[in-house]
Amino acid sequence: MVPASRPRPDALKAALAELRARFGARLAEGEAIRVQHGNQLSEVPNEPPDAVLFPETTAEVSVAVGICAKHRVPIIPFGVGSSFEGHVNAPFGGLSIDTSRMKRIVAVHVGDLDCVVEAGVTRTELNRNLRDSGLFFPIDPGADASLGGMVATRASGTNAVRYGTMKDNVLALTVVLPDGSITRTGTRARKSSAGYDLTRLIVGSEGTLAVITEITLRLAGIPEEISGGVCPFPSIEAACEAVITTIQAGIPVARIELMDELHVHACNVYSKLSLPETPLLFLEFHGSAAGVAEQSTRFNEIAAESGGGPFTWATKPEERTRLWQARHNAYWASRALRPTAKGISTDVCVPISRLAVCVAETKSDIAASGLVAPIVGHVGDGNFHVMPLIDFEDRAEVERGYAFVDRLVKRALAHGGTSTGEHGIGQSNRKYMRLEFDDAALGLMHAVKRAIDPNNIMNPGKLLPDV
């Protein structure tokens, strides 16, 4: 594969001139907007693109990609910039393709429980649009991410334990390939055995193979009954044990989220709550009235066996919203624990039977390292986030932080897990790819990348480790 590189200055100039001629003011070149389109959310250093384009249709994306391809200018797809891992950075410059003007809900097929949306629609925008249909889109990564970005990173979040991840909820995609051609990866059929699974090849490809412009999504029926609340536990191991038993018992919880006591404290302060400052599970049950009652009774029995409880119900929708809002603000609440620090995001995921031991080992490591590092997780999937809050002015502390993250990832892999459950690789997790995959698997990935994007213009410097 051609090594990633900055475009030649004359080629960049020519490409920008063509783009300007075609798109006028929708090509933005000012510094502020460029910086805004590099990574801003996490500790990964900002690397702005050379310009930002705001296309409005798949056809316009195709034209833009064609121009970039001709001049070998890197392309970085951009949703809302809520990635933690540097996905939107432009280490080799190039054109950021911002999909925020691609907001059409193309079709909602209520009878088929699916819809077709443009990539710039965010998940809450879609759900607002669906409100009167009786359906909803269940995948909820917390941030109000664009659906294109969620496809690109194989996102999941709080509801994945019941509804799956983006991998399970995308039926088909319209994409623009690196030569500017447009294609569709599948049909609206619920299942298909026709050919290679191009849909799943693009889901999670982080903009390195194609620009996603339109998405056919599965939807779910809004449950007849939703109930949920919060359950305290005497220790984080006890909370994890309750999660493991719940999953093993086949109770179809819709959400089962862990917060350690430090994280609860942060949420209490940030979201003005008065939750008990012990390890907590946030739960939600979806189903018929009888089904939800049965699920919650069974969960209460399991929690009690682990010494947890009592379960506090949030029966009114507004109470539930407040709780989940607090959960969704977890990132900002954590950051506020140490406002001068930056968080290093982490995202390991282990088989559920290893969750309690992996979290306990991690807790000990945090204590031994003297780090401030709250834990929160989608524990029904075995996925948890530890965020060491690091003073980036203090080089020794930065080293300590990254060394902790290295140990965390190696620990998760040793337990049969993965370095990233839902964030993706981006820039910051590339170094772990060699730990997670052997040479043959990485060779396969490189072969696929090379075959589809031989000039390496699609989001270069992301996902794959250097050869």
Smallest gap, in angstroms, from Cβ of residue 25 to its own copies?
31
282 forms bridges with which residues in the sheet? 230, 257
Q: Which is nearer to its own copies, 36 or 83 (CB)?
A: 83
Q: Choose one: 25-33, 321-329, 396-404, 436-444; the region binding its own copies (CB under 8 A).
A: 436-444
Q: Which of residues 116-155 bind its own copies (CB under 8 A)?
A: 153-155
Q: Which of residues 392-421 bind its own copies (CB under 8 A)?
A: 413, 416-421
Q: Which of residues 79-118 bind its own copies (CB under 8 A)?
A: 109-114
Smallest gap, in angstroms, from Cβ of residue 27 to its own copies?
26
Q: Which is nearer to its own copies, 177 or 273 (CB)?
A: 177
Q: Is residue 424 near its own copies by the rule CB under 8 A?
A: yes
Q: Which is nearer to its own copies, 182 or 336 (CB)?
A: 182
Task: Round to whole Å and give the CA distance between 380 and 254.
Answer: 9
Q: Which of residues 438-467 bind its own copies (CB under 8 A)?
A: 438, 440-441, 443-445, 447-452, 463-464
The correct pick among 168, 225, 301, 406 for binding its own copies (CB under 8 A) is 168
Q: Which of residues 342-381 bind its own copies (CB under 8 A)?
A: 347, 349-353, 381
x-or-dash pattern for its own copies, window 217-256, by CB under 8 A? ---xx-x--------------------x--xxxx------
Q: Which is nearer to its own copies, 83 or 271 (CB)?
A: 83
Q: Which is nearer to its own copies, 271 or 459 (CB)?
A: 459
Q: Which of residues 19-38 bind its own copies (CB under 8 A)?
A: none
Task: Round to whole Å and give the CA distance between 229 and 324.
Answer: 9
Q: Which is nearer to its own copies, 133 or 329 (CB)?
A: 133
Backbone φ/ψ region at 293: left (φ over 0), alpha (ψ -120 to 50), beta: alpha
Smallest gap, in angstroms, from Cβ of residue 171 to its own copies?
9
The correct pick among 124, 187, 321, 325 for binding its own copies (CB under 8 A) is 187
Q: Which of residues 253-312 bind its own copies (CB under 8 A)?
A: 288, 290-291, 294
The correct pick among 181, 315, 325, 364 for binding its own copies (CB under 8 A) is 181
Q: Is residue 2 near its own copies by the rule CB under 8 A?
A: no
Smallest gap, in angstroms, from Cβ of residue 298 to its own copies?
9
Q: Which is nearer to its own copies, 54 or 384 (CB)?
A: 384
Q: Is residue 190 near its own copies by the rule CB under 8 A?
A: yes
Q: Which is nearer to its own copies, 267 or 412 (CB)?
A: 412
Give the per-residue SS3 of the chain.
CCCCCCCCHHHHHHHHHHHHHHHHHHEECCHHHHHHCCCCCCCCCCCCCCEEECCCCHHHHHHHHHHHHHHCCCEEEECCCCCCCCCCCCCCCCEEEECCCCCCEEEEEHHHCEEEEECCCEHHHHHHHHHHHCEECCCCCCCCCEHHHHHHHCCCCCCHHHHCCHHHHEEEEEEECCCCCEEECCCCCCCCCCCCCHHHHHCCCCCCCCEEEEEEEECEECCCEEEEEEEECCCHHHHHHHHHHHHHCCCCCCEEEEECHHHHHHHHHHHCCCCCCCCEEEEEEEECHHHHHHHHHHHHHHHHHCCCCCCEECCCHHHHHHHHHHHHCHHHHHHHHCCCCEECCCEEECCHHHHHHHHHHHHHHHHHHCCCCCEEEEHHHCEEEECCEECCCCHHHHHHHHHHHHHHHHHHHHCCCECECCCCCCCCCHHHHHHHCCHHHHHHHHHHHHHHCCCCCECCCCCCCCC
Compute how many residues bind its own copies; rule: CB under 8 A: 90
Smallest gap, in angstroms, from Cβ of residue 431 to its own copies?
12
